[in-house]
Each structure stands twice: as structure tokens, then as C-alpha cells.
Amino acid sequence: MTDLASVPLPPRRSALATLLRAFNANKIAWVGLVIIALLIFAAAFAPLLAPYDPLEQDVLDRLKPPTWDHLLGTDYYGRDTLSRLLYGARVSLVISVGATLIAMAAGAAIGMLAGWRGGRIDALIMQAMDMLLAFPSLILGLMLVAMLGPSMPNIIAAIALTSLPAFARIARAPTIALKGRDFIEAGRSLGFSDARILCGHILPNIFPEILVMGALWLANAIRTEASLAFIGLGLKPPTPTWGGMIREGFENILDSAWLAITPGVAVLVVVFAVNLLGDGLRDAIDPKLRNEA
């Protein structure tokens, strides 16, 4: 005699619920989310929020520490640090998000291709990816930008190239695992083209991992952009970039430390926030955490 009513069903969870659970378990991820939201807001509304024109110089008011007039002080040319910081946020966001998105798309495509085709192509692609990944990414980035010239597209391309191999690798393994599954076989026997299977069936399965990786590499991209600007390979002055501001501050560090440290803290806080978010996202998709108490 069966009593199926006594057999309990496992509870079903939507993606949003899983995400919320993970974020609640890892409460500090909310902090990351809030900071990033603030950053996007600040960057988007920089023209409205900035008290001064970021390019406006005032030689009488140079290298001042924070005052009521200039909340974060002024730089070597008398430009308001806060305003430059806000406009610099735009640069950082556009470049790092752009580079990460390109790396995600291109890297995932390459990884899926390698996993799907297998054989020589796979071996060749992965060797190239491994070499790229092993090479110090900052050196690679700075060589590319130095050789091609520090324009926005070039910088984005250079950072994208250094992030690309990670996405290729993370897209490849699940592709190989899924390749042999029945529903893929079924699709092929129905005559679906490779592209259709890859985009329609494999991509949705690997999307969460790629998203998490994207968050983590976004943090890297922001850091790399700032580093390049610090070395002198960022967007040319007078365009405000956080890295460039730190460089100027560094050159004048004996006169005013505020200039070097303030944008530095800004970069740090933003990278930290993105990392927190990425951590939270990763906990959300980690299968162990999903089933665990």
C-alpha cells in the first residue's frame, strides 16, 4: 500500500529567490550593490552633480585640501577634485564595462567554439588562451596601448584582450560537457545548425557562470584602466581619469597628499564594491550553496 501523500516534494526556487538567499547569507554583498548603484548614478548625472567644470582652472586656488568651497580640494591647476572625480567615474565605467562586455562576448564565443569543435582547433585555441592568460596582463595591456595609442577604443580593446582568455576557458568546459547530452543530439538530428544549438541551448546553460566571471573581471578591468592611466597610458589630459588624477597627485605628493589619495580611495572603493557583488553572485550560483542548509 503506497501512501504517496507522505512523500515530501523538494521545494522549488526561482532564480530571484536563490539570488536573494545568497545575498542574505552574504549580507555585505548588498553594500557592494548599493555602492555600485551610487557610482552609476554619480557617473550618469555628473554634469548635474558636479559643482564645477572639471576643466576649469583657477591658479589662485591650487593644491588646496578640502574646504567648504571645494569639498575634496583642488589639484595642481586649481581644478575641483570632486568634479573631476565625478567625470572620471564616467570614463572608468564606460571603459571597464565596455571592455568586460566585449571580453565576455568574444571570450564565450571562442570558448564555445573550441569546446564544440574539439580536436586540433580546440587544442590550438586553448594553447593560445593559456599563453595569453599566463602573460602578465598589465604588461600586455600597456604594450598594446603604447603601441596603438591611448584612445578610448584602443584602451577598451587592450583591456578586453587581457580579460578574454578567462571567459574562453569558463565557456569551454560546460560546452564540452553538454555536447554529449541527449537534448543536443536531438537538436542535431532535427537539423538544427551549429549556431542555433550553441546560442539557443548551450549558451543559456553557461550564462550564470559567465555572468559571475563578468562581475569579477569588471573589478579587474576598473583596476587595469586606472593602472594604465597612472602609468601615463590613459586618456590624454585634460580629460579627467582617476588613474591620471592619482598620477598628478603622486607627482605633487609632497605638497598635497589629498590629491593622490582621494582618487585612489575612490578606485579602491569601487573595485571593492564590484568584488563584493561578484562574490555574492558567485555564492548564488554555487550549487553546493544552493542545496546546503
Partner 1 sequence: MTAFLIRRIALAVATLFAVLTFVFVVVRILPGDPAQLILGDQASREAIEALHVRLGLDQPILLQYASFLGNALSGDWGVSMVTGQPVLAEVLNVLPWTIDLTLVSLALGLALGVPLGVWAAVRRNRLVDYVVRVASLAGLSFPAFVSAIILLFLFAIELRWFPVISARKGSLQAWTQSITLPAVSLGLNSAAYITRVTRSAMLEVLSEDYVRTARAKGAPQRIVIWRHALRNALMPIITVAGLYVSTLIGNSVLTEIVFSRPGLGKLIVGALNQRDYTMLEGMMVIYTLAVVVVNLLSDLAYGFVDPRVKLV
Partner 2 sequence: MSAGEPVLSLRDLSVSFRSDGVWRPAVESLSFDVGLSETVAVVGESGSGKSVTALAVMRLLPQANSRAQGVVRLDGRDVLKLREDEMRSLRGAAAAMIFQEPMTCLNPVLTIGFQIAEALRFHRAIGRKAAEAETLRILERVRVPAARERLHEYPHRFSGGMRQRVMIAMALACRPKLLIADEPTTALDVTVQAKILRLLHDLQQEMHASLLLITHDLGVVASMADHVLVMYAGRVVEHADVDTLFHAPRHPYTRALLGCIAGIEDDRRAPLLPIDGAPPDLRHPPPGCRFAPRCRYALPACRAEPPALRPLAPAHDVACFRAEEALADA
Which residue is it, cell 553594500? 31
Residue 37 near which of partner 2, partner 1, none (CB within 5-8 Å, type-dependent): none
**Residue nearer to partner 2 on the CB measure, 1 or 16:** 1
Tell me: does residue 7 bind partner 2 (CB under 8 A).
yes
Q: What is the sign, positive or negative, of the torsion defined by CA atoms of 68, 72, 78, 83? A: negative
Give me the torsion for CA of 180, 185, 187, 193, rounded to 10°.
70
Of the candidate spans 4-12, 48-56, 68-76, 104-112, the one that interacts with partner 2 by CB under 8 A turns out to be: 4-12
HSE-CB for 112 with a 13 A CA cutoff: 22
Pull the grid cell for residue 254. Answer: 609632497
Q: Are 261 and 20 in contact (CB under 8 A)?
A: no
Please name which of 282, 210, 170 lies closest in space to residue 290, comparing C-alpha atoms: 282
Binding partner of 60, given partner 1, partner 2, none, CB within 5-8 angstroms per partner class: none
Q: Give the residue carrying C-alpha cell 554619480.
A: 42
DSSP assignment of 23-50 equals HHHTTHHHHHHHHHHHHHHHHHTHHHH-
123 lies in the site for partner 1, by CB under 8 A: no
Q: Does 195 sit near partner 2 (CB under 8 A)?
A: no
Part in contact with partner 1 (CB under 8 A); list of ranges 78-86, 114-122, 204-212, 223-231: 223-231
Q: Which does 152 bind (CB under 5 to 8 A by kind): partner 1, partner 2, none?
A: none
Site string for partner 2, 8-27 (x = CB under 8 A): x-------------------
Out of 55, 101, 146, 152, the residue judged to bind partner 1 by CB under 8 A: 146
The CA-CA-CA angle for residues 109, 93, 259, to 5°, reads 140
Residue 250's binding partner among partner 2, partner 1, none (Cβ under 5 to 8 angstroms by kind) is partner 1
- Which run of H or of E encompasses 1? none
- The CA dihedral of 101, 275, 43, 91, to the nearest 10 degrees, is -60
Q: Which is nearer to partner 1, 32 or 98 (CB)?
A: 32
Q: Per rule CB under 8 A, is residue 3 in the interface with partner 2?
A: yes
Interface ranges with partner 1 (CB under 8 A): 28, 131, 133-139, 142-143, 146-147, 219, 223, 226-227, 230-232, 246, 249-250, 253-254, 257, 260-261, 264-265, 267-268, 271-272, 275-276, 279
